């Protein structure tokens, strides 16, 4: 079952609004041609921003690309119906390529050695950040849904950076109370 893409980034919302405005303008004879032309130009520019960022951003690793494809092609509605997750999880929750590379860069630039992530979804952000950590770095991801750990772990295992990731399932507050949930120095 195909779902209509829900705009979830500022640029996607702008494109959606401009598309609706263009449709309204096209059906109204009273709208000046100059306004229609400006709407078309604004829509053309806004529509290309995400693609431009994707093309200009450092290419994602093979494990990240595999994790992204696995996530967006997964039937999350069915997983929820089968009771494998407590919550209905939209695939739009995934960290994207541009965001992942930004996280990786921030981790690397800050020279972080330990990262705590609360709420992992399928692990794209976690793996992106792990790629920015030094070899002795570690990331603890707190995730409420055990299914998501099972979903991500095979990809983490394929990545040379996956060994830096420890996923703790259950409420984050419970995880944080347990001393061994932190990275060991």
pLDDT for the residue numbered 50: 85
- Tokens 């209905």 belong to which residue? 88
pLDDT tens string 74-123: 999 999 999 999 999 999 889 989 999 999 999 999 999 999 999 999 99
- Band of pLDDT at residue 180, cut at 50, 70 and 90: low
- 109: tokens are 């630039």
Spatial separation of the C-alpha atoms in residues 149 and 156, rounded to whole Å: 10
The answer to whether residues 166 and 85 belong to one domain is: yes
Q: Stretch 33-57: mean pLDDT, rounded? A: 92
Q: What is the pLDDT of residue 138?
A: 96
Q: How many CB atoms lie within 10 A of CB 22?
A: 15
Say yes or no: 80 and 140 in one domain: yes
What is the rounded CA–CA span in Å between residue 19 and residue 112? 42
Residue 117 belongs to domain spanning: 62-181
- The answer to whether residue 135 sits within a structural domain is yes
Domain count, the chain: 2
Examine residue 94 and state whether it is found in any structural domain, yes or no.
yes
Cβ contact 97:136 at 8 Å: no
What is the pLDDT confidence band of residue 2, given thresholds at 50, 70 and 90?
Answer: very low
| pLDDT value at 3 more than 50 | no
Residue located via tokens 């419970």: 174
Same domain, 46 and 78: no
For the segment 160-175, what is each residue's pLDDT rounded down to a tens digit? 999 999 999 999 998 8
The answer to whether position 120 is within a domain reads yes
> Do 47 and 112 reside in the same domain of the chain?
no
Whole-angstrom Cα distance, residue 15 to residue 45? 9
Q: Are residues 169 and 111 in the same domain?
A: yes
User: Model pTM?
Assistant: 0.82
Examine the pLDDT at 178 and tell me if it is beyond 80.
no
Q: Using H for helix, E for strand and C for coil, what is the string for the chain?
A: CCCCCCCCCHHHHHHHHHHHHHHHHHHCCCCCHHHHHHHHHHHHHHHHHHHHHHHHCCCCCHHHHHHHHHHHHCCHHHHHHCCCCCCCCCHHHCCCHHHHHHHHHHHHHCCCCEEEEECCCCCHHHHHHHHHCCCCCEEEEEECCHHHHHHHHHHHHHCCCHHHEEEEECCHHHHHHCHHHCCCC
pLDDT in tens, 132-159: 999 999 999 999 999 999 999 999 999 9
CATH number of the domain where residue 133 is located: 3.40.50.150
Q: With both helix axes pointing from N to C terminus, report the angle between 62-73 and 146-158 in degrees, rounded to the nearest 10.
A: 150
């Amino acid at each position: 079952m195909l779902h209509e893409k829900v705009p979830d980034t500022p640029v996607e919302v702008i494109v959606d609004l401009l598309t609706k405005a263009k449709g309204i303008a096209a059906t109204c004879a009273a709208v000046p041609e100059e306004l229609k032309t400006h709407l078309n130009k604004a829509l053309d520019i806004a529509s290309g921003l995400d693609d431009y960022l994707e093309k200009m951003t450092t290419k994602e690793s093979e494990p990240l690309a595999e994790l992204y494809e696995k996530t967006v092609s997964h039937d999350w509605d069915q997983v929820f119906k089968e009771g494998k997750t407590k919550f209905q999880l939209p695939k739009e929750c995934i960290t994207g390529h541009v965001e992942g590379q930004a996280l990786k860069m921030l981790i690397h630039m800050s020279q972080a050695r330990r990262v705590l992530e609360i709420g992992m979804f399928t692990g794209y952000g976690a793996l992106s950040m792990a790629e920015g950590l030094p070899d002795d770095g570690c990331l603890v991801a707190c995730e409420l849904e055990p299914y998501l750990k099972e979903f991500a772990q095979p990809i983490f295992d394929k990545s040379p950076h996956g060994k830096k990731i420890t996923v703790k399932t259950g409420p984050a507050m419970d995880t944080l109370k347990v001393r061994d949930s932190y990275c060991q120095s």
